[in-house]
Amino acid sequence: MSSALVREPCPLEYIDGTIRFEPQLPPHSVALVTLELQSAGQPRATGERR
């Protein structure tokens, strides 16, 4: 079975100018996280994991 990237949302918190998230990944996995900021400054995260 080969690896594949899967796009999925990653819950996060934005408090006092700090963004915090804790992705749930299986052992030995690798993640690519893309953070997209909306014009109002509210963060939105999307994640891909492998």
Whole-prediction pTM value? 0.45
pLDDT, residue 43, reads 57
Radius of gyration of the chain from its Cα atoms, rounded to whole angstroms: 13
pLDDT, residue 50, reads 47
pLDDT, residue 37, reads 74
pLDDT, residue 12, reads 85
Written as tens digits, the pLDDT of the chain (50 aa) is 557 777 888 888 888 888 898 888 889 888 888 877 776 655 555 555 44
Name the DSSP class of 41.
Answer: S
Burial of 21: CB neighbours in 10 Å, binned 0-12, 13-18, 19+: middle
28: left (phi over 0), alpha (psi -120 to 50) or beta: left
